[in-house]
Amino acid sequence: MLLDYDRLGWLRGALLAFTGLVAAFLLLPVVFIVLLSFGSSRWLAFPPPGWTLKWYEELFAEPAWLEAALTSARIATMATVLAVVIGLMASFALVRGKFRGRDAVRGLLLTPMVLPVVVFAIAIYAFFLRIGLGGTTAGFVIAHTVLALPFAIIPISAALEGFDKSIEDAAIVCGASPFEAKLRVTLPSIKIGIFSAAIFAFLASWDEVVVAIFMASPTLQTLPVKIWGSLRQDLSPVIAAASSLLVLLTLSLMIVTALIRRKLST
Interface contacts to other proteins, rule CB under 8 A: 164, 166-167, 169-178, 180-181, 184-185, 188-189, 191
**Taking the mean position of all CA atoms in its chain, how far away is CA 74?**
14
Min dist CB 74 to other proteins, Å, is 32
CB of 168 to other proteins, least distance (A): 9
Specify the residue, 63 or 175, whose C-beta has the smaller distance to other proteins. 175
> What count of other Cβ atoms lies within 10 Å of the Cβ of residue 50?
8
Residue with Cβ nearer other proteins (17 or 174): 174
Nearer residue to other proteins within complex by CB, 33 or 171:
171
Q: Nearest distance from residue 187's CB to other proteins, in Å?
A: 10
- Which residues contact residue 51 at a Cβ distance below 8 angstroms, ignoring those fewer than 6 apart? 38, 39, 40
Q: What phi and psi, each to the nearest 5 degrees, are found at residue 166? A: -55, -30
User: What sign does the CA torsion over 129, 200, 256, 95 have?
Assistant: positive
> Nearest approach, Cβ of 191 to other proteins (angstroms)?
8
Distance CA 133, CA 164 (A): 42
- Looking at the Cβ atoms of 166 and 219, the one nearer to other proteins is 166
Spell out the residues 6+ positions from residue 65 whose beta carbon is closer than 8 angstroms to its own. Answer: 59, 223, 226, 238, 242
Which residues on adjacent β-strands are paired with residue 51? 39
CA 230 to chain centre: 22
Question: Whose Cβ is closer to other proteins: residue 108's or residue 183's?
Answer: 183
Q: Which residue's CB is nearer to other proteins, number 3 or number 173?
A: 173
Q: How far is the CB of 60 from other proteins (least distance, A)?
A: 43
C-alpha pair distances (Å), 164 with each of 167, 170, 186, 190, 194: 6, 10, 9, 11, 17
Least distance (Å) from other proteins to the CB of residue 176? 5
